[in-house]
Structure 1
């Protein structure tokens, strides 16, 4: 069981701007029309998730162009950060992704003096909700956030003595390893659910688009969202949960969000309420993240959510979409970034078995869901990200770091 460990550290530390500690590199605007089947992997915004890289749909640039893009080539353990969309996410580049090059709107941070700053310490410092939230607050743009590298260079982090950095990094590496082991066991549980799904319902590949299946638009209502003006304080901090794709993680159910709206904020964008039980589907950056609303909520423009009708149960539809992320991604359209439109989602055909059979599956899945949460050592219905906040203690100039669940 994963315990809620909260290590604390304090010691003499100084706040130093990232621009003084690191070279911060910008990426190149690679032309998608020049992508090939293999070559130099292009690391894009969608690849940078919270704490790790995901590249189930890789893009490659011709290896023959290596010389012309030399300044954008990446190295093992480069620290990458998203600058657009879900800003403030960081990941370290694993050797398995090489050779690779940096795409536009992804930053690369390379430590200037590793005798002053440990890379694992820096990673854990930036892989925290407090840093991500500050990135979101500092980013420009309403429809899509854009983080400035000028702001990033000026962002200061506490830098204690190297022995303290190593101890902090070691502690959080242990927590991360514990989480990774738990997630590996969760994958096995998810495979069990998928096996049961196929056993009960047969081939679940939506790419078949069987003519006897039903359009999503005919068995439910597809609803999107929007972002109220962030500079209007009266719109924010109320009692209405407001979701972004970045907040969908390992949890099946979403019961809380990092930001909330007031009634004025809801009215400003004529937002449609997503009732509890709505199947949440991210429609861009990235496409195909799925969850179920555990309570009434609203969302930003990065979703095409499905309010199920009487013939479809949320847990059934959630699993069906989860098992078809590749197909959902193949439906994305757009020049700047791929996106699912409301019409595309409505036109997807899905198998709709008898409700009694869906209920049997839901009963089985819920038992497995309970095992997932027991494994993670957190109460139902949600497990969040574990990361730490770092700050300088105003009393003695020391560094305080805490592991927290979000």
Structure 2
């Protein structure tokens, strides 16, 4: 029997705290005054403007800075609240740790076990876990002083992650501001219709059923086009011997645009980069072939700029509340500033330089996140111990 087994007794998640479910607010409670109502959306997104409630019915469900909140329905998540007095909606637990449980340690422990809890979640439309799941989910609990040491190590990594996220957000903002300034500096009368800048009309791809095994060739998924441009992810195996794919074979440097997505994401543009095997683009993307009057890099940058993104979002159409499309005629009618080639190159160089700095920060951020994942596994299972007196 290991030292950890002897020193860390088995406990259930239910035994580590009391879990108070939030109040079932109804539309009649909503208003513009009073304390904010915290639903799952408000819990996870600081920028959402909440409904408010000024009455007394929900006084028992007030939360404040330092409270541990656990979302147990739809999206499982645990975090420590830091946005001042508020009122907790149903589907969220206010978690009050037991006397022998450290709050920060419990926060990390819940997050570590979210994947296992999600695997046993109930429901067909909105997945959720029950108090019974908490009562049957076993964990090992170290002594409180060791909990504090473990939490201190993980909190330090969280601080590093938040600092890196703040830097990346600032760099994204700077990139957008610099690009807008550069585009505003282009002489008046330089706007051109996109259709007049292409050698051929925008052409949709082709989406056969993906093969279930490796075939030596790939098809792009819609997720390959992101706010950061082309990312080689969500690749699917292309079927063998489908000759209809051939016209949609990609070449390194091809410009691609998504033609269907949410309003915020439709029309995103990226430049395809070789993935080491033949690759084809799907029906939900268009290939844009620029003429000599506009460089591919500049075209991708300006199409992803704030001013052109607004054009795209304003004209995208669809019957679905979430998914919209842009047609070939819509894409061809977009207007964008087109300076002389030397000025296009100057703008591209400035943006690429900023993106290089951002890419370095994103790489470091990902490394820190992976380090935390590994340390959570080691520290929260007792595989690695944090000795008394150890610093963060």
The bucket for the TM-score relative to the shorter chain is 0.5 to 0.7
| Aligned residue runs from structure 1 range 43-58, under 5 A | 43-49=38-44, 54-58=45-49
Does 1 or 2 have the higher relative contact order (CA < 8 Å, sep 6+)? 1
Judged with a 3 Å threshold, the aligned counterparts in structure 2 of structure 1 residues 352 and 249 are, in CA distance, closer, same or farther, namely closer
Q: Does 2:51 align with 1:60?
A: yes
Please list every run of 5 or more consecutive structure 2 residues that lacks an aligned counterpart in the other structure.
186-192, 196-200, 207-211, 240-247, 276-283, 291-295, 387-392
Q: Does 2:124 align with 1:138?
A: no
The alpha-carbon deviation at position 69 of structure 1 amounts to: 1.5
1:116 to 80, 84, 100: 100
Report the TM-score, using the length of structure 1 for normalisation: 0.59
The answer to whether the 8 A contact 1:279-1:318 is kept is no
- Larger fraction in strand: 1
Judged with a 3 Å threshold, the aligned counterparts in structure 2 of structure 1 residues 353 and 249 are, in CA distance, closer, same or farther, namely closer
The alpha-carbon deviation at position 177 of structure 1 amounts to: 1.7
Partner of 2:22: 27
The answer to whether the 8 A contact 1:10-1:400 is kept is no
1:196 to 175, 178, 186: 178
1:259-289 per-residue CA deviation (whole Å, 9 max, x = no partner) reads x98999xxxxxxxx9x9987789849xx779
The answer to whether the 8 A contact 1:42-1:100 is kept is yes
Partner Cα distance (1:219, 1:33) in 2 = 50
The alpha-carbon deviation at position 68 of structure 1 amounts to: 0.9
The alpha-carbon deviation at position 170 of structure 1 amounts to: 1.0
Partner Cα distance (1:13, 1:241) in 2 = 49
Query: What is the total number of aligned residue pairs between the two structures?
Result: 329
The answer to whether the 8 A contact 1:279-1:308 is kept is yes
SS in 2 for 1:116: coil
More displaced, 119-128 or 359-368? 359-368
The answer to whether the 8 A contact 2:70-2:95 is kept is no
The answer to whether the 8 A contact 1:89-1:127 is kept is yes
Instruction: Name the larger-Rg structure.
Output: 2
Q: Does 2:58 align with 1:69?
A: yes
Partner Cα distance (1:124, 1:243) in 2 = 34
The answer to whether the 8 A contact 1:277-1:295 is kept is no
SS in 1 for 2:179: helix
SS in 2 for 1:48: helix
Partner of 1:186: 168
The answer to whether the 8 A contact 2:257-2:269 is kept is yes
1:22-70 per-residue CA deviation (whole Å, 9 max, x = no partner) reads 2223333434575333422121222333xxxx2212122231x2x1122
Partner Cα distance (2:177, 2:15) in 1 = 52
Partner Cα distance (1:323, 1:199) in 2 = 16
Partner Cα distance (2:228, 2:110) in 1 = 22
Judged with a 3 Å threshold, the aligned counterparts in structure 2 of structure 1 residues 191 and 158 are, in CA distance, closer, same or farther, namely same
Partner Cα distance (1:322, 1:153) in 2 = 53
Q: Does 2:327 align with 1:320?
A: no
1:78 to 67, 74, 81: 67
Partner Cα distance (1:373, 1:383) in 2 = 12
More displaced, 185-194 or 348-357? 348-357
Judged with a 3 Å threshold, the aligned counterparts in structure 2 of structure 1 residues 309 and 250 are, in CA distance, closer, same or farther, namely closer
Partner Cα distance (2:10, 2:231) in 1 = 36
SS in 2 for 1:81: strand
Judged with a 3 Å threshold, the aligned counterparts in structure 2 of structure 1 residues 38 and 84 are, in CA distance, closer, same or farther, namely same
The answer to whether the 8 A contact 2:73-2:126 is kept is yes
SS in 2 for 1:30: coil
Partner of 1:127: 111
